[in-house]
């Protein structure tokens, strides 16, 4: 069964550095999402992406964050000038059509030191 794959599985970064989290959505999917889960908290929506542009973003997704689909397969989340509170599990998800359920990757654990 096709899967959403995320790399790396764990990223450790010094505060203030930039990180790029990578995702390969399911190949024929058109809708892409990033979520995060801070330890002990709910899974929270960050941003949705369709047709090469952001379709919706949450209040969390401020100027520190950006997304890109640099080629036909990758979908990346960039976090500039990381802060301690950015430490979380980041999940990528994709769906094939608007009404279809989202499929999630196994996440990247981001640890900011």
Partner 1 sequence: DQQVKQNSPSLSVQEGRISILNCDYTNSMFDYFLWYKKYPAEGPTFLISISSIKDKNEDGRFTVFLNKSAKHLSLHIVPSQPGDSAVYFCAAIRSGSARQLTFGSGTQLTVLP
3-state helix, strand and coil shares in percent for the chain, rounded to the nearest 5: 5, 50, 45
Instruction: Compute the least distance from the CB of residue 81 to partner 1, in Å.
Output: 25
Q: Tell me phi and psi for residue 57, to 5 degrees.
A: -140, 155
Residue 105 contacts partner 1 per CB under 8 A: yes
Q: List, in order, residues 6 or more apart from 7 with CB less than 8 Å away.
A: 22, 108
Q: 64 vs 109, which CB is nearer to partner 1?
A: 109
Query: 33, 75, 79, 110: which one contacts partner 1 (CB under 8 A)?
Result: 33
Q: Tell me phi and psi for residue 77, to 5 degrees.
A: -120, 120
Query: 13, 24, 30, 44: which one contacts partner 1 (CB under 8 A)?
Result: 44
Q: Which residues bind partner 1 (CB under 8 A)?
A: 4, 6, 31, 33, 35, 41-45, 48, 50, 55-56, 58, 91, 93, 95, 98-99, 101-107
């Amino acid at each position: 069964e096709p899967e959403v794959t995320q790399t790396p599985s764990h990223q450790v970064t010094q505060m203030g550095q930039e990180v790029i989290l990578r995702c390969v959505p399911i190949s024929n999917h058109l809708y892409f999402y990033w979520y995060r889960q801070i330890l002990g908290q709910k899974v929270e929506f960050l941003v949705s992406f369709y047709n090469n542009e952001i379709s919706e973003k949450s209040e969390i997704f401020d100027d520190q964050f950006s997304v890109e689909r640099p080629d036909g397969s990758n979908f990346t989340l960039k976090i500039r000038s990381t802060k301690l509170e950015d430490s979380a599990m980041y999940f990528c998800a994709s769906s094939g059509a608007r009404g279809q359920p989202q499929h999630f990757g196994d996440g990247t654990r981001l640890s900011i030191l």
